[in-house]
A and B are shown apart, each in its own frame.
Chain A
Amino acid sequence: AQTVTQSQPEMSVQEAETVTLSCTYDTSENNYYLFWYKQPPSRQMILVIRQEAYKQQNATENRFSVNFQKAAKSFSLKISDSQLGDTAMYFCAGGGSQGNLIFGKGTKLSVKP
């Protein structure tokens, strides 16, 4: 069975600072993909970043980057220069051969001015 675990229910960060959200996953599949989604108070689900588990290089999208540790099955999200608009729930998700995503329970991030 595939599992995705987010151990931080809530986090806060000061505006302009850096924060890291943790995620671990477990799967027996080699062809696995990992994602971070953001859900702001508007409840939309917005794709933040995608990582292919067979690639060692960490994905980066502007202020968002991942630290992917394959051996540890760890997939953390780093947000640099945090902005007030980054306040949201962040979900880590994994997808394998079935195609559907398995989501973690989420981390509620608050960016404080």
Chain B
Amino acid sequence: DSGVTQTPKHLITATGQRVTLRCSPRSGDLSVYWYQQSLDQGLQFLIHYYNGEERAKGNILERFSAQQFPDLHSELNLSSLELGDSALYFCASSVGSQGSGQPQHFGDGTRLSIL
């Protein structure tokens, strides 16, 4: 058990819809990272928050947004969903901010299926 909690585990929805993925980091971790794992793109970094502030953006679509709340949990919002958004979405947490080299601990992921 990594200590990182992601909900829900599975999500099935239709094109055009909007969903919210939730992540609670390990106790004491201030950084939250979101990654997308798909068959064609592999594991790709989406966005990084540290102690409530956005620190870095990767290949995140404009239809996607995220935030980290004062209690340090984070939500990833995906809107106007397309078939290509079907993927496994991981949240990872670490103690430090960017450049600290702290290992990232991953949640079990949310599997999103778009029908």
Say if A and B assemble together.
yes
Chain A neighbourhood of B48, CB < 8 A: 98-100
Number of A-B residue pairs, CB cutoff 8 Å, is 69
Q: How far is the CB of B78 from chain A (nearest CB, A)?
A: 19
Chain B contact residues: over half helix, strand or loop, or mixed? Answer: strand
**Docked-complex contact B101 and A31, CB < 8 angstroms:** yes
Chain B 30-55 per-residue mask, 1 if CB under 8 angstroms from chain A, else 0: 01010100000011110010100001
Chain B neighbourhood of A31, CB < 8 A: 99, 101
**Docked-complex contact B45 and A101, CB < 8 angstroms:** yes
The reply on A44 being an interface residue by CB < 8 A is: yes
Interface residues of A in 11-59 (CB under 8 A from B): 31, 33, 35, 37, 42-47, 50, 52
**Docked-complex contact A47 and B108, CB < 8 angstroms:** no
Interface residues in B, total, Cβ within 8 A:
30
Q: A43-B88, A44-B108, A45-B106 are in contact. Are A103 and B42 (CB under 8 A)?
A: yes
Instruction: Tell me, in angstroms, the Cα distance from A67 to B33 when the chains sit together.
Output: 28
Which residue from chain B places its CB closest to the CB of A105 in the assembled complex?
B42
B interface residues with partner A (beta carbon < 8 Å): 2, 31, 33, 35, 42-45, 48, 50, 55-56, 58, 88, 90, 92, 94, 96-101, 103-106, 108-109, 111
